[in-house]
Every structure is written in structure tokens, then in C-alpha cells.
Amino acid sequence: IQADGTEGNCVTFVLHDEDHTLGNSLRYMVMKNPDVEFCGYCITHPSESKINFRIQTRGALPAVEPFRKGLNDLMAVCQHVLSTFERSMKEYRAQR
Amino acid sequence: ACMAALRGADEMRDRVVLGEFGVRNVHTTDFPGNYPGYDDAWDQRRFEEAFRVDVIREEGDSLEFDMVGIDAAIANAFRRILLAEVPTMAVEKVFVYNNTSIVQDEILAHRLGLIPIRADPRLFEYRNQGDQEGTEIDTLQFQLKIKCSRNPQAAKESSDPDELYCNHKVYSKHMTWVPLGNQTDLFPDADFRPVHDDILIALLRPGQEIDVLMHCVKGIGKDHAKFSPVATASYRLLPDITLLKPIEDEAAETLQKCFSPGVIEIQNIKGKKVARVANARLDTFSREVFRHEGLKNLVRLARVRNHYIFSVESTGILPPDVLVSEAIKILMGKCQRFLNELDSVPME
């Protein structure tokens, strides 16, 4: 990760070794946060695998907070999807 | 009975509409602040209430299941991970001791790499970069040693190669596992071999032989497609067909032919034939309806935005439900990696 920006509330994170897989899903989770004014990501060059992930927040909230919250929310979503999927597979097999 | 179309804002949020020449409402717009009166901020509890997974069919290597209540970004992330980031074992280095067959060394090596190997990749580690030798925890060794000879019992005038020669077809079943180091102790009941026994690798004639040693390593599909664990993994959105006005008699018959079989059924109500949408899920949306002037405006074709019908077909290395679980764990691992970095590096 590299971050730069003048004040704390507009930050561009450079995530190495990542692409649309994490970029788009993380962007969705961060956009769902009502404190975020702008969130976007782009792939700087298709030959390099890194993304520029920018977050701008309303007011004086440091941009690292929605980033961290987005990552935690995405982890919680994955955890729930995993447990629901495994439960459904078990039910399907039991019922067959 | 026909259903009234949803209110404008609801339709934009929930449905992707297929028009005659284009698709509308493609992007997700339910972010906080876009719609007055709707609270769109992320709420884990609301997500968990609305989310469900229904397994439709599981047969051997293919799995079909529905995920309802999730967004395109996350569903696509799972699909991308299934294709490119779930690790498997495949032949990476081929040491050619003797190859007098007509198949060139590099072509033979390429073909050997693409053969799926039945070895659980979770039991192995990734090879360290720059390590040429390979240790027993990250490498599987296979040997292919076969020589073609003339069959002395063949009839004089036969021209059938199966009779004339022995071992002239090299199949994947001729690959044998050569345990390295303490692998026999680590995996006492393991039977490492290619998933399919009848993959034809090369053809030989008498006097030709192939003697190669292969090293299998763990890798991911992003590096080379041979490491991809799925034959394919795809999803589609649930179709949603609404009839805006009642459609009867001949028009009903034409309508039924416009869609895939089983989608529209014709009921007999008071002597008249009335069309009804029976099972929209079966439709493949060929948009045949738009070619009929009379029916064009009476039907609305749409897709439900957050209902994904996944279809995962594995190459046989791991069962498809294990692949999906691994893919979800890999996405969690990515998030965890960045959370750890955030916590360890102080931000100025």
C-alpha cells in the first residue's frame, strides 16, 4: 500500500498485486458508506498489476477509516456467504 | 393474470431491463444519497436477512446454485477467483531423458502440463522463487517411460495399428507417481495420478520411446491457464418476464413460440386461450419477441439485479463445492492482507 494526499480526507491508495477482483468489490462496499463522498478505482496500466483506489470523505473524517470499514465489511460478507453456502450444501445433500 | 410494472424508482433499483436495441439500468445505483426516502447505507443485518443460497443441482463435477441478495461486484469477484486464483497442482518442469517420438520435446511438455492431476493442492506449499530443485513439500514427481515395439503375434496382412504394435498410444494412465523423500510417509494412502486415464498424449511407432521425469508444482490460473481448477465457472442473472396486457388466442400461441420451451404456458379460461408466464428461469432471452410488431410492446423483458445463477464445472481435481468455498476464503484472505498492512504501517 502507498498513500498520498494533502489532508487526511482525500487519499489515493496504491494496492499492489490486485486487479478488478478486489477493486470492484471493495469499491462497492466503500460506496455503501454514507460518509464517503467519492470512491473509485482504476488500473494504471494493464501490464502492471496494481490499482489506484481513491477515497474522499465528507467533512474531516480521515479516509483510512472508510477503507478499513470497507475491508471489514467485505470480510463479514464473505464469512456470511461461506457459512450460508456450506449450510445449503449440507441441506441439499441431506435431502437427496 | 398480468402484473403491473413496478414503480419507476423500484424498477431502476431492482431490474436490468432489456429493450429492443439496448439494455437499461445496468449499473448498481443503490448507494446512499441517490434515492430520497431509501436508506442505502451498508447494514450487515439487513444483508444477512435478505441473503440466501439455494443449491439447484449437483452432479459429479458440475454444480448449479443460486445466490440471492448479493451485488454484481462481489459475485463477479467470486467468479474471477474461481477461474484464476484457486490453486491446483500441474506439471511445470519436464526433464526429458529420451524422446525419439515424432512429438517435439516442447510440444510434449506443453501437453503434459495441461493434464489435470488428482492431488489436493491444500496439502502442498508453493515453491520458493528461484528454487530449482524442489523439496518434498512443494513438488510431486511423475515418470512417463514407454517404448513401442512390434507385436510378434500379429497376423501377416493386418494393417490395424492396434494389432501390429504394442504400446503405440501413450495415455495419461502410463504416468506413474515417483515419491520424493518422505512423501510415502506423509501421504500413506494417497494415490497421485492424472484425473482421467484416457488422455492421449502421443503416438509412437516401433523403435520410438519416451522417457521423461515431470515435476508438478502448485500454481494459480493467473500464472498459466493449466492451473485453473474449473472447466468453467459462469453466472447469469435470473430472467423476469412480465406481460403488460392480457394476451389471448393466436397472439398467445406466437408468444409461446418466441420463448424457450416451458417459459410461457397457455391456460384455457372460459373458452379463451390465455398466456401466462410459467417459469421465467428457463429462458435464454433470444429476444424473438421484438421481431413481432404486435407483441413487442406487450412484454417487458428484464433481469433481477441481485439474483445470480452460478454454474461451476470442475476439472475433477476438487469437487465444485470445495472450489467455491476455497474461492470465498481467498477473497477473505485478500481483505485480511490489506487489513494487516494497514495496521502495521503507520499512515502519516
Q: What is the mean pLDDT of residues A49-55?
A: 88
Regarding beta strands B193-194 and A36-43, do their DSSP bridges make them parallel or antiparallel, or are they unpaired?
unpaired
Which candidate, A63, A62, A50, A54, places its Cα nearest to that of A18? A50
Which candidate, B246, B306, B267, places its Cα nearest to that of B4? B246
Q: Which segments in chain B show pLDDT lower than 50?
A: 1-6, 348
Answer whether B213 touches A (CB < 8 Å): no
Return the C-alpha cell found at B284. Answer: 435464454
Which candidate, B331, B337, B339, places its Cα nearest to that of B81? B331
Which candidate, B278, B302, B301, places its Cα nearest to that of B14? B302
Q: Which of A32-36, A57-61, B173-177, B269-273 has the highest mean pLDDT?
A: B173-177
Q: What is the CATH number of domain A10-95?
A: 3.30.1360.10
Degrees (nearest 5) of the Cα angle B229, B231, B235? 100
Whether the model clears a pTM of 0.90, i.e. scores above it, the answer is no
Nearest chain A residue to B344 by CA distance is A1
Interface test with A, best of B52, B328, B340 (most A CBs within 10 A): B328
Chain A residues with beta carbon closer than 8 angstroms to that of B47? 77, 80
Closest by Cβ to B321, choosing from A64, A81, A89: A89
Answer whether B67 touches A (CB < 8 Å): yes
Per-residue pLDDT, B2: 35
Per-residue pLDDT, B348: 46
Rg, Å, chain A Cα set: 17
Per-residue pLDDT, A4: 62
Residues 6+ apart with CB under 8 A from B194: B115, B116, B117, B118, B172, B173, B175
Degrees (nearest 5) of the Cα angle B38, B42, B47? 95
Nearest chain A residue to B341 by CA distance is A1
Distance from the Cα of B269 to chain A's closest Cα (Å) equals 37
B142 in Cβ contact with B177 (< 8 Å):
yes
Distance from the Cα of A60 to chain B's closest Cα (Å) equals 15
CA B184 → CA B116, B137, B188, distances in Å? 22, 12, 5
A 20-59 near B (Cβ less than 8 A): 20-22, 24-29, 31-34
Answer whether A1 touches B (CB < 8 Å): yes
Q: For B15-44, what is each residue's pLDDT tens digit?
A: 888 877 888 877 777 777 777 777 777 888
Per-residue pLDDT, B313: 92
Q: For B130-145, what is each residue's pLDDT tens digit?
A: 777 778 888 889 999 9
Per-residue pLDDT, B202: 92
Distance from the Cα of A59 to chain B's closest Cα (Å) equals 16
Which candidate, B293, B224, B229, places its Cα nearest to that of B20? B293
Farthest CA pair distance, chain B: 90
Distance from the Cα of A38 to chain B's closest Cα (Å) equals 11
Is B44's CB within 8 Å of A79's CB? no
State CA A47 to chain mean position distance. 22
Per-residue pLDDT, B14: 78
Per-residue pLDDT, B282: 83
Is B325's CB within 8 Å of A77's CB? no
Per-residue pLDDT, B255: 84
Is B31's CB within 8 Å of A27's CB? no
Chain B residues with beta carbon closer than 8 angstroms to that of A16? none
B56 in Cβ contact with B65 (< 8 Å):
yes
Per-residue pLDDT, B312: 93
Closest by Cβ to B58, choosing from A71, A78, A92: A92
Which candidate, A32, A65, A38, A72, places its Cα nearest to that of A53? A38
Return the number of CB contacts < 8 Å for A and B: 116
Supply φ then ψ for residue B73, to 5 degrees.
-60, -40
Q: How far apart are CA B73 and CA B82, in angstroms?
A: 14
Domain-wise residue ranges, chain A: 10-95
Per-residue pLDDT, B15: 83
**What's the DSSP call for residue A58?**
S
Spell out the SS3 assignment of chain B: CCCCCCCHHHHHHHEEEECCCCEECCCCCCCCCCCCCCCCCCCHHHHHHHCEEEEEEEECCEEEEEEECCCHHHHHHHHHHHHHCCCEEEEEEEEEEEECCCCCHHHHHHHHHCCCEECCHHHCCCCCCCCCCCCCCCCEEEEEEEECEECCCCCCCCCCHHHHEECCEEEHHHEEEECCCCHHHHCCCCCCEECCCCCEEEECCCCCEEEEEEEEEEECCCCCHHHCCEEEEEEEEEEEEEECCCCEHHHHHHHHHHCCCCCEEEEEECCEEEEEECCHHHCCCCCHHHHCHHHHCCEEEEEEEEEEEEEEEECCCCCHHHHHHHHHHHHHHHHHHHHHHHHHCCCC
Q: How confident is the model at residue A37 (pLDDT cuts 50, 70, 90)?
A: confident
Is B41's CB within 8 Å of A77's CB? no
Farthest CA pair distance, chain A: 60
Q: How far apart are CA B131 and CA B347, in angstroms?
A: 35
Nearest chain A residue to B76 by CA distance is A21
Chain B residues with beta carbon closer than 8 angstroms to that of A89? 55, 58, 321
State CA A34 to chain mean position distance. 15
Answer whether B332 touches A (CB < 8 Å): yes
Which candidate, B34, B148, B112, places its Cα nearest to that of A34? B34
Q: What is the mean pLDDT of residues A52-61?
A: 84
Closest by Cβ to A68, choosing from B55, B336, B342: B342
Is B334's CB within 8 Å of A33's CB? no
Q: How far apart are CA B296 and CA B231, in angstroms?
A: 38
Per-residue pLDDT, A1: 61
Q: Name all domains of chain B by residue range, CATH numbers in brackets.
A: 1-83+233-244+298-309 (no CATH), 88-228 (2.170.120.12)
Answer whether B1 touches A (CB < 8 Å): no
Q: How far apart are CA B12 and CA B24, in angstroms?
A: 9
Distance from the Cα of B132 to chain A's closest Cα (Å) equals 24
